[in-house]
Chains A and B, each alone.
Chain A
């Protein structure tokens, strides 16, 4: 057995390392030489002859090694240090509306806190009848709910305010993810502590080295916020706040405090660093908007896109993308292939849930000429995704946050795609 593995491994390794090249060659064979036989069919392949790994080899399953390029990526020049930084979800490699746990973008300010859940506590204090401490076991005795929500960083697309910068939707739009959360309603925890009538605000605090804090109005806290301990059916990932995080549906990701350890009830906002010096939107006149919590209606074409060029030549093409709104559900997505001159209503496929990602498709016949791809989302409150020009006209180029402008991808006649701005 061992001997046979040894004899096999070189050729197998050779194939694996040549994976990408191999795939390209196969695609070329398939396209260019109709009528010729392919060796992947006529030759018996290793995986068709020799058994693979047994059930003990992968106790926690991982994606195929041919998917090793599907990873989160950092943009090193953005920040001084990867400990207080961000990486981006590879949206162009994903489909449907659910983001796999290991690919949800990360943004943290003091690195990933690694917390033993038996040593984790959630405290509620401030203007309450009873300041309380909950263990993880306590939290799981409250009624549970499952909800699918997107989480978008307010700075998603923030690098594009001055014009096209980054070639790939991973970098222009990858600070968004969407998972199914399991947890308890914040309302139930606050009721247990008994919020006093003058308690109009809530301060949420993390247990990480940045002790991240945000003020949240009580109305939102009691409406739909959750304290989540699971994502997509399993415990939260450490980088997403294990053992618990706050879920603030439709609102900017910075408020979804990870490693949540404390909730304080107060009668006014705390004006913390992340709601004054950051996450306020500077306008051209020098004024700055504060408490801009809702994430606006937005969409992006994920395929094709700069990291996922068109390789099949002219003929049938599938455009695919994501749309979302912090105001509710997406009612419609339009796409344009001529830079916004003419629009076609795309097909939304899969669940359409409020404050969740929506997946859209548009199938058409490409004649091989250059294209200017755009998508425009409309939510069920009637908000229409604006153009970047419209946003800049009102806000100037220095807002950093809340850039939900329509994205343009230029498709060359060779299928290569670039992030552009157009007339």
Chain B
């Protein structure tokens, strides 16, 4: 028993040393002071390193600026290989521009200009996740310039010298912002109707097939990739 205790003590000493080494200087700071006292205070530098999100009201925007013309150079080098020269997209990569007035069409085209409600989303997303394969590689000014260029490609600004900055960012409104509504699924007739569902003789006549999956034949292992249909999981 005593031997076990000694071993245990030695092990905890070792673990303690290791933990201090991993935690580094930060671990030596004041205890967090929460209810259980678990964890440590985040340093301002750590919060700044990870907290790069930007909201529609401009919270989180960094200092910086860039013009649409500058953005075109950044775009051509980093973005056009997937999104196309004019944001029209190559293969199934996302279309970034155009599509205005198509949301009620048979095949709507949802782009920054036609669908996205907030410009802050463009800045936030490009800064955190683009270019695909090399995230976080663009400067804050580059992202302002790119965002300005995407406004230009979507005809929301028409001057290639237009400069987007932290100061004028929230003055830009995207055209589709008012077309978003809250979740009202529960008011749909099939959900609002809480009566017992029909159990017998619910529909007249025998069921007839109106559409076959086999006609499209797009199931993997049968499908010919060239004939793949449009649409997807988005």
Contact = CB atoms under 8 A, between A and B. Distances in A.
Q: Is the interface of B mostly helix, strand, loop or mixed?
A: loop
Contacts of B38: 134, 138, 141-142, 192
B53 A338 contact: no
A298 B72 CA distance: 46
Interface string A138-156: 1001100000000001010
B198 interface: yes
Interface residues of A, number: 110
Interface in A269-293: 270-273, 276-278, 280, 282, 284-293
Given A74-B220, A118-B22, A270-B55, A165 B183 contact: no
A77 B225 contact: yes
Contacts of B183: 289-294
Interface string A318-351: 0000000000000000100011111100000000
Interface in A96-114: 107, 109-110
A268 B39 contact: no
A297 B78 CA distance: 43
Contact of A125 (B34, B47, B91, B207): B47
Contacts of A292: 183, 185
Interface string B164-201: 00000000000000011111110011110110011111
Nearest to A400: B234
Interface in A5-50: none
B41 A131 contact: yes
A150 to B, nearest CB: 18
A398 B222 contact: no
B202 A343 contact: yes
Most chain A beta carbons < 10 A, residue from B53, B133, B223: B53
Nearest to B82: A80
B213 A383 contact: no
Contacts of B220: 73-76, 171
Contact of A164 (B22, B194, B213): B213
Interface string B57-101: 100000000000000000000000010000000011100000000
A142 B183 CA distance: 35
Contacts of B128: 210-211, 213
B211 A123 contact: no
B200 A398 contact: no
The 8 closest A-B pairs by CB, nearest first: A339-B207, A77-B228, A192-B34, A419-B213, A386-B190, A286-B103, A131-B42, A164-B213
13 contacts: A76-B228, A79-B233, A118-B22, A132-B39, A166-B218, A270-B124, A272-B124, A276-B117, A276-B118, A284-B104, A296-B185, A401-B234, A418-B214
Given A132-B34, A290-B181, A339-B203, 5 more contacts: A79-B92, A135-B23, A205-B50, A273-B125, A340-B203
